[in-house]
Amino acid sequence: MIEATGLTKRYGSTVAVDNLSFEVKPGKVTGFLGPNGAGKSTTMRMILGLDTPTSGDVRIDGQHYRDLKQPLSKVGALLDAKWVHPNRSARAHLAWMAASNKLPKGRVDEVLDAVGLTAVAGKRAGAYSLGMSQRLGIAGALLGDPEILLFDEPVNGLDPEGIVWIRKFMHRLADEGRTVFVSSHLLSEMALTAEELVVIGRGRLISQTSTKNFVNNASGSSIKVRSPQLDQLQSVLQQGNLMTRIEDVEDEGKVLFVDGEVTTDAIGETAAAQGIVLHELTLQRGSLEAAFMQMTGDSVQYHAHDTQQAPPVPAVELVVAAEEKN
């Protein structure tokens, strides 16, 4: 269990993380979601004692990371796959990590095997592809067989095969009863991986809820119905106080949409009771990306066209102007 209370990190006048409180429940994959620059990495670094919070507190099973005796056996972390000396072999990299926490030497070969790097373990890590570096990073996180795992944007820049591999790997870790806290700026990725979500924007907590809840609440859904007896169906549904609208959809003709809290089951049953023929009955969700943008839209730090600032005057022009004055 990871517990953050009032976590705040300031760099000068910039607030990277702002009074953030959340908890990561044991034995589940929890997604840490937010746009780029929302403070996800900073938060992870504070959890791991790399950065000191300006105020607030974060504890792992009641302890600060810095007070853990053999931290690798408690928490495994992959913050950046490139944190390896390029001229050191994967095996040597894991060997020193193992020695630092008095882990048996055999663990190195075990985790290399688990991530499928045994064949290239003696090669210099600088020659690895991003996917291989990512696997090495995960091997390092697994070295102490920890119950808690932290991953920062683990699928970033990976090819589809790598993404699927990481996704499966995380599910396996959760199935083994481990706590997994994984950050991403992609809601669609999180929807596939995480059971719980901690959503932040501009360093503030936007919501902490189950992924299912978040997706349902965030994306408005509507039910699409095609039927040769649309008008009849509409009047029946309207009698049941449902919001309906009929639209002309290209290639499909007239389509009835039902908005609000209603299930396809209910509509199907209503239609059957009235003897109305249905050609199509579908639940339509708004896209997750759109929902995410809507939720975090106000908290994205760098908008593309945010402010109407005058373009800066090039220095050369200023010099010329000054010379003309003289």
Q: Which residues bind other proteins (CB under 8 A)?
A: 45, 48-52, 65-68, 71-72, 77, 79-80, 82-89, 92-93, 95-97, 99-102, 140
Residue with smaller CB distance to other proteins, 89 or 232: 89
Q: Closest approach of Cβ 96 to other proteins, in Å? A: 4
Name, in order, each residue with C-beta under 8 angstroms of 147's C-beta and a sequence gap of 6 or more: 26, 74, 177, 178, 179
Residue with smaller CB distance to other proteins, 66 or 245: 66
Q: Closest approach of Cβ 42 to other proteins, in Å? A: 9
Residue with smaller CB distance to other proteins, 74 or 185: 74
Residue with smaller CB distance to other proteins, 38 or 94: 94
**Which sign, positive or negative, has the C-alpha torsion 69, 56, 150, 31?**
positive
Residue with smaller CB distance to other proteins, 65 or 181: 65
Residue with smaller CB distance to other proteins, 23 or 80: 80
**Closest listed residue to residue 189, CA positions, set 293, 76, 33:** 33
Q: Closest approach of Cβ 294 to other proteins, in Å? A: 34
Q: Closest approach of Cβ 178 to other proteins, in Å? A: 17
Q: Closest approach of Cβ 125 to other proteins, in Å? A: 9
Name all contacts of 68-73 with Cβ < 8 Å and 24+ positions apart. Answer: 70/101, 70/102, 70/144, 71/101, 71/144, 72/97, 72/100, 72/101, 72/103, 72/143, 72/144, 72/146, 73/101, 73/103, 73/144, 73/145, 73/146
Q: Answer whether 4's CB lies under 8 Å from 48's CB.
A: no
**CA 268 to CA 276: how far, in whole Å?**
9
Pairing verdict, β 253-259 and 221-226: antiparallel
Q: Closest approach of Cβ 64 to other proteins, in Å? A: 9
